[in-house]
Amino acid sequence: MAMTLKRADLEPLLLGGCFFGSGGGGTIASARSLVAHFEQGSYYPTDEVRVVTAEEATEGDAVMVAYMGSPEAIDGTAYPVGPVLAVEQVRARLESEGRKLAYVVPPESGALGFSVACLVAAKLGLAVVDGDGAGRAVPSLPMLTFAARHVDPRPAVLVSQDGLAVALDVTPAKGSGGDRQHQQDVSIIVEQMMRPIVAAPEFKQFGGLAMWVMTPAKLIEALPITGTLTRALAFGRAAMRGSLTTVDDVVRWLHDEFGVSARALFATGELWESAVDTTGGFDLGTVTVKAGAHTAEVLYQNESLLAWASDRPQPLCMAPDGICWFFEGEGDAVASNGDIVQADGSLNPAYRGRPATLLGLSANPLLRVPGGLILDSFMAQVNTLGYRGPYVPVEKLTASSYKEAQHG
């Protein structure tokens, strides 16, 4: 059902988006910086955001819009200039073809992904579709349902915060339209070409991306993961009113309200150490949690992709399943890796010393299809972090860990 969001709604939205982002999807700090400037005036013609379901998006075409690049680099940005200019280029191209752009779609669940979509929509008089391409945040384009459902990714427009625009119209040697071979070729090529562009000095490690234009019929097909803005908003509101103060609260709430299966991956502990390297538009790093004599380590590429424990022979969790942070006590209950780890690689004092728990969220079944583009893309990324085995769902990994603990 359509709804209208005001500025006050964007704070719970970005908090919920952060939680479901699996450590990525932009930082709370970057999203708050953008939301703080959201008011009717010289930049925004309105202080309201219209959100519609995919079924209600019948008045024109939709396009995915996002920031692409390092979460650390985006922090402090006041206005979503790059994403707005990218969408404006797509809108002008559609108008030249006699078509109308009416909607923007978030790429993924995340604090920044949801905030940017809302702010771009408000700026340009568009509506946001309540859904995204993964139900979590992802480090690369082929991991999104837009790719898996064969939306033609051409053109892809990338615009810097200063207005420098690059449009890619890659034609693969094989495949046509939007079939799997086409998507695999083009999405990977676009990714490989855009990352160095984003890393160039002129782009300062980030830019606004608009791609995957969808007609109303194609939108229904390409956006099977729906209601994710509604879910994030509800989570953020529950957290802000104090309904989610413990891990048990969160696990119960996720199950009861949205049927999401979640479990604690490791004993509640404290952040112990961290490391980060920002290169090529990614924040690459690790965060270690210590509980008693044991530690758990999260490996991330913007998003958390793999978690290990010092007392377990197999991983605790691997993407596409979510690896989500939850903190007890005063302060934000959620965080992205970019919020936890500062630019110099040190831990953010706002989270250090607080009870910290890693939660594993079972991924949407669409992300787990064996031999599918999405799962294959996730596993290729996970394999670069040192894990060489097959994908194992988090519920199986935690079940085996429990059995080991019982019989160890």
Q: Read off the pLDDT of each residue in 73-99 and give the average, rounded to a whole number.
A: 93
Residues 6+ apart with CB under 8 A from 200: none
- Tens-place pLDDT, residues 261-282: 999 999 999 999 998 876 655 6
pLDDT at 172: 60
pLDDT at 403 > cutoff 50 = no
- Tens-place pLDDT, residues 338-381: 999 998 899 999 999 999 999 999 999 999 999 998 999 999 99
- Tens-place pLDDT, residues 113-171: 999 999 999 999 999 999 999 999 999 888 999 988 888 887 889 998 888 888 887 76
User: Over pLDDT 90: what percentage of the chain?
Assistant: 73
Lowest mean pLDDT among 141-150, 160-169, 317-326, 397-406: 397-406
Residues of the chain with CATH 3.40.1610.10: 3-228
For residues 214 and 77, the model is more confident at 214
**What is the rounded distance in angstroms from the CA atom of residue 386 to the CA atom of residue 388?**
6
Residues 391 and 378 sit within 8 Å (Cβ to Cβ): yes
pLDDT at 279: 62
- The edge-to-edge listing of strands for the beta sheet with 356-361 is 262-264, 356-361, 322-327
pLDDT at 406 > cutoff 50 = no
Whether this prediction's pTM lies above 0.75 is answered by yes
pLDDT at 404: 46
pLDDT at 407: 38
Hunting for tokens 């290729």 — which residue is that? 380
pLDDT at 376: 94
What is 245-407's CATH number, 3.30.70.270, 2.40.390.10, 3.20.20.70, 3.40.640.10?
2.40.390.10
**What is the rounded distance in angstroms from the CA atom of residue 235 to the CA atom of residue 243?**
9
Give the CATH class of 3-228.
Answer: alpha beta
pLDDT band for position 100 (cuts 50, 70, 90): very high
**What is the rounded distance in angstroms from the CA atom of residue 142 to the CA atom of residue 144?**
5
For residues 172 and 364, the model is more confident at 364
Residues 6+ apart with CB under 8 A from 203: 69, 160, 164, 197
Q: Read off the pLDDT of each residue in 318-333 and give the average, rounded to a whole number.
A: 97
Lowest mean pLDDT among 1-15, 107-121, 276-290: 276-290
Residues of the chain with CATH 2.40.390.10: 245-407
